[in-house]
Structure 1
Amino acid sequence: MKPPNSFRFGEWEVRLLDTTPRIVVIEPTTRCNFKCIHCFRNEMGEEFKDMEYDFFLNLVDSIRGLGIKRITFTGWGEPTIHPRILDMVAEARRVASEIVLNTNGSTLLRIAEDLVNIGVDELLVSIDSPDIATYSKIRVGGELSIIAKGLLKLRELRLKKGYVKPAVSVIFTINTLNYSDVVAVAEFSRRAGVNRVIYNNFIPTSRKLEGLACYTSSKCSREVSKLIGEVSRLSMDGTLAVQATYRTVKSYFFCPYIDNSAVYVARDGWVSPCMFFAHSWTPTLYGIERAVRRVVFGNVCRESLLDIWRKREYVLFRFLVRARQMPSCLDCELAPYCTYTLSNQHDCLGNSPSCASCPYARNLAFCPV
């Protein structure tokens, strides 16, 4: 299906090109072997299941020849507990220039050598504290010692084989329980051979958890800024890269999906514009609970990914996001009294769906694309 040749935008006529996605984000499963206190899955009203392997193979076949730059395995579950994850990664390696795997690290000790041999380009590993007790409170069900051993094994394998890949990034999600570990996790990462530390914000999945959000506390935010500044100075020797999300809403707006021509394929085949809209859930931001409803443009079980990508409604949605035709709910003084901001279904500019309250586009949270 081809998109419309053009459409009118104000006094301009916008001509559309036959584009293809550059990044395909695949959700192998919605199951997980952890129960982290900040996980979106805690608010999901769905049955947790794996993507069927035959369906995955059909998906890979459908994107062969599209010039896909990157395939990222992530999602609302732990990708590495899918029974065929190594086969999936190997198949993806055949059709994409880069392979990225997001993981909690629980299986890394077992699969590290396979990931190196397959040629994975980057691993994103979530570690929310280098302290065993704090880690266990946040990442319930996980064992820090096992993750640490997996990282060390990966470092050893890369040194032994003379490989620089996979590059390893540690994602540290800041909350009021672990913010004092900001410097310690950087030191832990350096010892483990990690290439980059990403400091992320905790996004509350319910009102009762909002007290854990550091960015809502001026005292916590000031302390975190000071600690990240210290880490940045320590990293100036070039051995560890540092990346951090904002702790206040700024004018910045950059959608990691739309602006990178990325698309999200959920484990059941439904295609969403991003991870934020891939399932229904209820985040709480700055005291306002918002109902995020799942947004889909088609299902790759019934039509090709390219046909879905070029659907008129999907093309127009991407254009409006790229043109920044969205209000800013997160710093709007009327937000506490506005009914539009209570969901992603509509906004005050007439968009449907709306990205007006997305924390990822405002760099309040890190988006693994």
Structure 2
Amino acid sequence: MKPERLIVEISNECNFECQMCFLMQKNGSRQKSFMDLNEFLKMADLLPHLESLVFSGFGEPLLNPEIYEMVRFAKSRMQVNSNISIQTNGYLLTEEKAIALIESGLSNFCISVDRLAGGFQFHSLNNAEKSFQILSKLKEQFKNLTYGAEIVLTKDNLSELLEILQGLLSFKIDFLIISHLIPSSQSLVSKVAYDTNNDASVRIFEKWSKILYEKGYSFEDWLDVAKKKAAENVDYNLETHNLYKSMYEDAESIGLTLNLKKLMEMDNEFLNTVESLLYRVKEICSQNKIKFKIPAIHPRSNRKCEFIENNCMFVSVDGDVSPCFFLWHNFECFIGNLHKKVKKVSFGNINLEKPIDIYNGDPYKKFRETVTKYEYPYCYDCNFALCDLMELENFIYDCYSNEIPCGACLWCGDLFNCVI
């Protein structure tokens, strides 16, 4: 078996200092600045089988002066209908650089745009405007050129989203990717525009909440039941207890748990506003024949890992091979206001082994097989979240005895998106 999509980090440096970027976490896990050409050449055996090669990662790829040689080498060995992309803030892109990249074989540019205007603390449309003007002009010369934008959605840019989109439309973009924010610090938790209760749990909660209120009760009655159950002092004949029990049994019948406190605290008015806004974005994209990837507002219970399902391989700047974006680096995050230390998963290093041997090695194969069974817990719906099994950096196994940390990942729940 061979990987079909390769995502390579060739730079660990950036010309921006975005406060929501994990590159700002100085945790000692990223000590090397650039991947050199000789290291990149070690992935030669992978290239003929690839559908897609993406230059991405925590750093800015355009800072690596050898990117042109890397693109040229890759294109000379990849299939005719394959695609080479770059994820960039676009600020360093000039017409000369763009032409050099395109003529070397790069065909797709994804430029980060998170606000209408601003300096180097976040990606803004005014910073990226020059890049889009260049690409729009070059599209007449290079017919296979495609380009678009990725937006990280937060409470800070919700009110600007449609105006940003209108600005992007003026540059005739081909695609739009929107992803939610993964808070890299406690201060960013309040900025998220999603809820971590999964969609099926929300539907069950709403169903039984309606029944509860129709019978003249309120959430306070359920909270009272929960407190008495914890103290083993509940009256099992109470109608409120029976409704509470039925709701939980409903969830358990499809393998779900419910975090009652979190479900009660949902800001439905805000979430409905976000959902309506994203629906409008989809309409505009469809009307303008723009491809789009738009996130949900709740994690989906029917999980799908696009990294594993699409046979992706991630290679970091130091040559380590990882299975997905979530486990590509060591970092800390605060999804759902819960502190999570993520330790990168590496199955080998391209400087020590052949990449194809790493991909087909038993540990990597076992990981892929376990992921696609989707038998791990929904950690953010658990009343004990995050437990010491999942919170700590040195993960061993989850509460289902799985040796993969995917229960605490919401990429497979359709909240986060990226170019692959």
Would you call these one fold, judging by a TM-score over 0.5? yes
Within 5 Å, which residues of 2 pair with 1:226-305? 226-305=276-355
Q: What is the CA–CA distance in structure 2 between the aligned matches of 1:142 and 1:249, rounded to whole Å? A: 26
Residues 74 and 215 of structure 1, relative CA distance in 2, 3 Å threshold? same
Contact 1:63 1:305 in 2 (8 A): yes
Amino acid at match of 2:145: P
Residue of structure 2 equivalent to 1:357: 408
Q: For the Cα contact (< 8 Å) 2:179–2:418, is it kept in 1?
A: no
Q: Structure 1 residue 124: deviation in Å?
A: 1.3
**Separation in 2 of the partners of 1:169 and 1:252?**
28
Letter in 1 for 2:38: D
Equivalent of residue 122 in structure 1, options 108, 117, 134: 108
Matches of 1:162 and 1:51 in 2, distance apart? 28
Larger mean CA deviation between 42-51 and 190-199 belongs to 42-51
Structure 1 residues 264 and 324: alpha-carbon distance in aligned structure 2, compared to 1, 3 A threshold: same
Which residue number corresponds to residue 186 of structure 2?
A: 207
Equivalents in 2 of 1:222, 1:309: separation in Å? 42
AA matched with 1:169: G
Secondary structure, in 3 states, of the residue corresponding to 2:11? coil
Q: Which residue of 2 aligns with 1:5?
A: none
Number of residue pairs matched by the alignment: 341
CA contact (8 A) 2:13 2:59 kept: yes
Which amino acid is the alignment partner of residue 104 of structure 1? N
- The CA distance in 2 between the partners of 1:141 and 1:220, in whole Å, is 24
Q: Which structure has the larger Rg?
A: 2
Unpaired segments of 5 or more residues in structure 1? 1-18
How big is the shift at 1:121? 2.9
Residue deviations 1:147-193 (CA, integer Å, cap 9, x gap): 2111111111112x251x32212111111211111211211111012
Secondary structure of the 1:282 match is strand
C-alpha contact 2:32 2:317 (8 A) present in aligned 1: no
| Structure 1 residue 352 displacement after superposition | 2.2
The verdict on how the C-alpha distance between 1:364 and 1:36 changes in structure 2, with shifts beyond 3 A counting, is same
Please state how far the C-alpha of 1:324 moved relative to its aligned partner. Answer: 1.3
User: In the alignment, is the contact (CA less than 8 A) between 1:183 and 1:228 conserved in 2?
Assistant: no
C-alpha distance after superposition, 1:279-315 (max 9, x if no partner):
1111111121111011111111011001111111111
What letter matches 1:340 in structure 2? L
Q: Report what 1:170 is aligned to.
A: 149
Q: Distance in 2 between matches of 1:75 and 1:305?
A: 18
CA RMSD of aligned residues (A): 2.0
For 1:272 and 1:366, how far apart are their aligned partners in 2?
17
Equivalent residue for 1:339, pick from 388, 402, 411: 388
Task: After the TM superposition, list the runs of 4 or more consecutive aligned residues in structure 1 that deviate by more than 4 angstroms.
Answer: 141-144, 216-219
Which secondary structure does the structure 2 equivalent of 1:24 belong to? strand
Unaligned runs of 5+ in 2: 196-266
- Aligned residue in 1 for 2:249: none
Task: Tell me how far apart the structure 1 counterparts of residues 125 and 299 of structure 2 sit (CA, whole Å).
Answer: 32
- TM-score, normalization by structure 2: 0.77
Residue equivalent to 1:195 = 174
* Greater per-residue helix proportion: 2
Question: How far 1:64 moved relative to its partner?
Answer: 4.7
Aligned mates of 2:139, 2:334 — CA distance in 1? 41
Within 2, Cα distance between the matches of 1:239 and 1:68? Answer: 27
CA distance in 1, matches of 2:357, 2:184: 34
TM-score of the aligned structures, taking structure 1 as reference length: 0.87
- Compared CA separation, residues 227 and 244, structure 1 to 2 (3 A): same
**What corresponds to 1:319 in structure 2?**
369
* Alpha-carbon distance between aligned partners in 2 of 1:141 and 1:172, rounded to the nearest angstrom: 11
Who is 2:203 aligned against? none
